[in-house]
Amino acid sequence: MNLIREIYQSIVRRDPLSTDKGKSELVFLNVWLHIHPAKVKREHMKFTHTFYLGFITFFLFVILVTTGIALMCYYRPYPPAAYQDMKDLQFVVFMGPFLRAMHRWSAHAMVVCVFLHMCRVFYTGSYKKPRQFNWVVGVVLLLLTLGLSFTGYLLPWDQLAYWAITVGTNIGSYAPLVGGQLRELLLGGHTVGEAALLRFYVLHVAVLPVAVLLLTAVHLWRVRKDGGLSRPLWKLQTVKKEQLVTIGAPQETAPLLVQPAVATKTYGLMEVVTGKPIFETIAPEEEEDAVFSFPYAFVREALALMATVTAIMTISILFHAPLEELANPAKTPNPAKAPWYFLGLQELVSHSALLGGVVAPALMVLALLAIPYIDRNPSRQLTTRKWALGLFTAFVVVNLVLIVVGTFFRGPGWALVPPWVHVVGGAE
Amino acid sequence: MNRRNFLKWGWGSAGLVALVSAMGVSMAAVLRFLMPSVFYEPPQAFKIGTPGDFPFGPPTFLVDEKVFVFHDREKGFSVASAVCTHLGCTVNHFSSDQKFHCPCHGSVFAADGTVQHGPAPRALDWFEVTEARDGQLRVDKNKTVPPTYRLMV
């Protein structure tokens, strides 16, 4: 009995969870949990503040990694074996269609959730000082997500994959000076072929996931180091200047208010570090709003995880991942479409390849990256950010409209065909 | 500047130059490594068969080479690229209007390959076709020719 206790205590060193010290130690003595603060504010856990989109995106990534590793066991990255393996996954492998569907729908969902997460952060003004750089990291993660989705799109080696990647990589070749060589580098050849499939596979299973993992670590770390989640908008107006406590060097405008110690308080100020604080100043009454991460935050995260997994599983049972016939370089399907999140781009490209395919997206990415540095307005209140909100909303709406038009309103020969009109045969 | 500072800055900048150039050379080597030295792709110049293999009238589409071979009774042979100049989709030739239609973004090319409609930035390529010594027709995709080029056999 003593041996068992000794083994248990060698693994779990914290105090019992019935005590506050135990609840704190659960978080900061655990390598996986210590990304959380020991205590979180109630307002930060409110669903309508963040919609848990960051967590959901991360959970989708976890689903993608696990299902992806499972799929790798049955996949050979060269044609035409790649396509045969898809057929095997479809008809022979136990739970193959289900795993493939989970992987595909999680990938689409991740693109959507990253985008929604970005919208949430923008509309709540959470990219503002001191969080500017974390926004930039987030934009790079969005690009990496698109890159992962795009490289994964080719792997089934069916008609859909082949022509989506042919069109997609040709858009890139319009970049001035380096475009053609970039495409050659990416494809390892002049057309989408054996070399391209292998390169996309390497990017998809090794290079990009590792990049996402490393940057996610930076992203989460910066959330903590930049002062935790931003305060919900509805809390902003309640803070009065004279009630503020400044961490670090006190300023004249914000005198240091000292909280009287109470009997239940189990923590204290360990050290005073001088220097300018990067944190938003904290209102003293908020200490009472904080609760221990265990169990309040963890339960909510677990619920978000379960909801995500359940939703993806349900969708994957109902809808199978598409698989068309074997890739045929000689026969372009009509119409040939890129993956849906690039259809806005394809729509632009159908009007002008250079302007729509290179200039517009490059400007869009640069503008996204520069947002926290261009927007000098320190206020997060919606009423004082009319220009920023208008521009960003226009950006979102234009993108959505282009994607919807490209997805649903383009028929054979890229002609404008409403989705309720059925085209028989198409141009042949 | 005294001797001590001169040495400090001198060694410092020499070290920086060495570091930057080493990194530059390494990056160039990595890029060169990623650029294949040999492409295991279909050759750009190839034989397509004897003149008798190609009927008069509508062009013959060669699947692997992605070219249309035109055989005109009076004018002879000409070979057009089937790759759309816009985004690389394979164009179709319609005998009804004698034009090339791209399925991806609706580009239309006239009989001589010039753009008539859609986003294609330039005309379809025409390739040199010659008669090899063994009597077969030989197409060289590295050599583009004006659309008026013809080979009489």
User: Which candidate from B31, B63, B88 shows the least CB-CB separation from A170?
Assistant: B88
**Which residue of B63, B104, B117 to mutate against A (max A Cβ within 10 Å)?**
B104
> Quick one: angle between helices A96-123 and A386-408, nearest 10?
150
Asked if this assembly's ipTM is beyond 0.85, the reply is no
Contacts of B35 in chain A (CB under 8 A): 181, 184-185
Query: Is residue B47 a contact partner of residue B136, using CB atoms and an 8 Å limit?
Result: yes
Instruction: Find all residues with CB under 8 Å of B4, minimum gap 6, and list them.
Output: none
A428 contact B CB<8A: yes
B35–A428 C-beta distance less than 8 A: no
Token pair of A11 as six digits = 């693994």
Find tokens 């909801």 and name the residue. A307
Q: Which candidate in A78, A159, A170, A343 is best for mutational testing of the B interface (most B CBs within 10 A)? A: A170
Highest mean pLDDT among A55-69, A376-390, B3-17: A55-69
Query: What is the per-residue pLDDT for A1?
Result: 82
Q: How many angstroms separate the CA of residue A407 from the nearest CA in chain B?
A: 13
Q: pLDDT band for position B139 (50/70/90)?
A: very high
Contacts of B109 in chain A (CB under 8 A): none
3-state secondary structure of A53: helix
Residue appearing with tokens 């902003």: A236
Instruction: State both tokens at A329.
Output: 């370089």
Q: Do B102 and A413 touch (CB under 8 A)?
A: yes
Residue A230: its pLDDT value, please?
A: 85
Q: Find the closest chain A residue to B67 by CA distance.
A: A330
CA dihedral A136, A138, A139, A144 (to 10 degrees): 130
Q: State the pLDDT at residue A298.
A: 94
pLDDT in tens, A189-200: 888 999 999 999
Confidence of residue A65 (pLDDT cuts 50, 70, 90): very high
Is the pLDDT assigned to residue A74 strictly greater than 50? yes
Partner A contacted by B92 (CB < 8 A): yes
Name which of A350, A405, A410 to mutate to probe chain B: the one with the most chain B Cβ atoms within 10 A of its Cβ. A350
CB-facing half-sphere around the CA of B144: CA atoms within 13 A: 9
The pLDDT value recorded for residue B75 is 86
Q: Is the pLDDT of residue A225 over 90?
A: no
Average pLDDT, integer, range A172-186: 85
Task: In chain B, count H helices and then E strands.
Answer: 1, 10
**The pLDDT value given to residue A424:** 60
When scoring B37, B85, B87, B115 by the number of chain A Cβ atoms within 10 A, the one with the most, hence best to mutate, is: B87
State pLDDT tens for residues B27-70: 999 999 999 888 888 888 999 999 989 999 889 999 888 999 99
Identify the pLDDT of residue B22.
Answer: 96
pLDDT value at residue A395 = 94
A120: burial class by Cβ within 10 Å (0-12, 13-18, 19+)?
Answer: middle
Backbone angles phi, psi at A72, to 5 degrees: -60, -25
Rounded mean pLDDT of A198-217?
97
Residue written as token pair 């005073």: A272
Mean per-residue pLDDT, A180-184:
88
Q: Does A330 touch chain B (CB under 8 A)?
A: yes
pLDDT-wise least confident of A314-323, A366-375, B57-66: B57-66
What lies within 8 Å, CB to CB, of A352 at 6+ separation is: B119
Residue A427 has pLDDT above 50, yes or no: no
Q: Which range is most confident: A31-45, A59-73, B112-126, B137-151? A: A59-73
Q: Which residue has the higher pLDDT, A294 or A208?
A: A208
Contacts of A349 in chain B (CB under 8 A): 86-87, 105, 119
User: Could you read off the pLDDT of A9-18 as tens digits, one per residue?
Assistant: 999 989 999 9
Decide if B104 touches A, using CB distance below 8 A. Answer: yes
Residues in chain B within 8 Å Cβ distance of A163: 89, 104
Query: Is 60 exceeded by the pLDDT of residue A41?
Result: yes
What is the average per-residue pLDDT within A144-166? 93
Between residues B115 and A234, which one has the greater pLDDT?
B115
Residue-level pLDDT at A261: 56
- Cβ neighbours of B119 in A, within 8 Å: 349-353
CATH 3.40.640.10 fits A25-232+292-330, yes or no: no
Phi then psi for B77, rounded to 5 degrees? -95, 145
Is it the case that residue A101 has pLDDT exceeding 80? Answer: yes
* Interface check A179 vs B, CB under 8 A: no
Work out the percent of chain A whose per-residue pLDDT is above 70.
Answer: 87
* pLDDT tens figures, B61-86: 998 889 999 998 888 899 999 999 98
B38 at the A interface (CB within 8 A)?
no
CATH assignment of B45-144, given 2.102.10.10, 3.30.379.10, 2.60.40.10, 3.40.1210.10? 2.102.10.10
Q: Note the pLDDT tens digit of each residue in B74-125.
A: 888 999 999 999 888 899 999 899 999 988 888 899 999 999 988 888 999 9
Give me the pLDDT at residue A219, please: 97
pLDDT for res A273: 66
